[in-house]
Amino acid sequence: MALKLSATEHDIGDLNVKRLLPHIKKRMVGPFIFFDHMGPTTFSQGEGIDVKPHPHIALSTLTYLIEGRILHRDSLGNNLEIAPGDVNWMTAGTGITHSERESIETRASEHTINV
């Protein structure tokens, strides 16, 4: 019989995140695999996501953007804008921080984020 999981929801500052994994009913997946969906959220002109720099401890993230644009920056000097259909694969070692924001151009008008 198939197991149907329900995501837990978290508000991370004007952006709703639904986390499916890790899940208490699916422990064999492991504590360091996250499957999240953020949005869709529509922001007014001048507003947007502003996830401040934060570390990841030797794990990888894969971001697939459905709608909107996200500016990824990290302490290694990488600066990449992710567009719809793009995939960003980041592996952050100890001591590396990164942030997710939107460019001034994206914030200049109403826009939607869906990741």
Residue 62 β-bridge partners: 89
> Between residues 47 and 22, which one has the greater pLDDT?
47
What 3-state DSSP class applies to 58?
coil
Specify the DSSP element, H or E, that contains 22: none
Query: What local confidence, expressed as pLDDT, does residue 110 receive?
Result: 96
For domain 46-115, say whether CATH 1.10.4080.10 is its number: no
Position 12, amino acid = I
Dist CA 49 CA 51 (whole Å):
6
Residue 57 β-bridge partners: none
Query: What local confidence, expressed as pLDDT, does residue 32 receive?
Result: 67
The pTM for the full model equals: 0.76
Q: What is the pLDDT of residues 60-79, one digit of tens each?
A: 777 889 999 999 898 889 89
Dist CA 101 CA 71 (whole Å):
5
Position 98, amino acid = H
Query: What local confidence, expressed as pLDDT, does residue 21 receive?
Result: 82
